[in-house]
Amino acid sequence: MGISVSDVVPFTQARANLSELADQVKAGAEKIITKNGESYVALIDADRLDYYHRLENERIHLLLIEDARRGLADIEAGRTHGADAAIAQLQQRRAAAATPKITRTPRKRG
């Protein structure tokens, strides 16, 4: 469902016509409320918002499952390190990055 020009409503108009806008949204429309000419908030049906939240949660769960699958594949392939060794390696990298490097600037002869 796309947003049309009639679905973009200035804040002052939305304030004056909130009941009418709410009825339109309940009937399936989505409204973009603008303030000072820029997108400010969206007005959507509460059931649709709940649906969007459920979709986002499902997406997060699918990403977590995919991460677990890749982790298990790494274990099976032997691409793992012990936690202590990994932490030590990270600490070494941080220490090396924090150590200032001294460079010499060549002097001009003249």
* Model confidence, pTM: 0.60
> Computed from CA positions of residues 22, 24, 26, 30, in that sequence, does the dihedral angle turn out positive or negative?
negative
Contact 8, 32 (CB under 8 A): yes
pLDDT digits (tens, 9 = 90+) for 16-43: 999 999 999 999 999 999 999 999 999 9
Chain centre to alpha carbon of residue 23: 31
Q: How many CA atoms, within 13 angstroms, populate the side-chain half-sphere of residue 24?
A: 15
pLDDT digits (tens, 9 = 90+) for 80-105: 889 999 999 999 999 999 887 777 77
| Close Cβ partners of 39 (under 8 Å, ≥ 6 residues apart) | 32, 33
Cβ count within 10 A of residue 9: 20
Q: pLDDT grade, residue 5 (50/70/90)?
A: confident
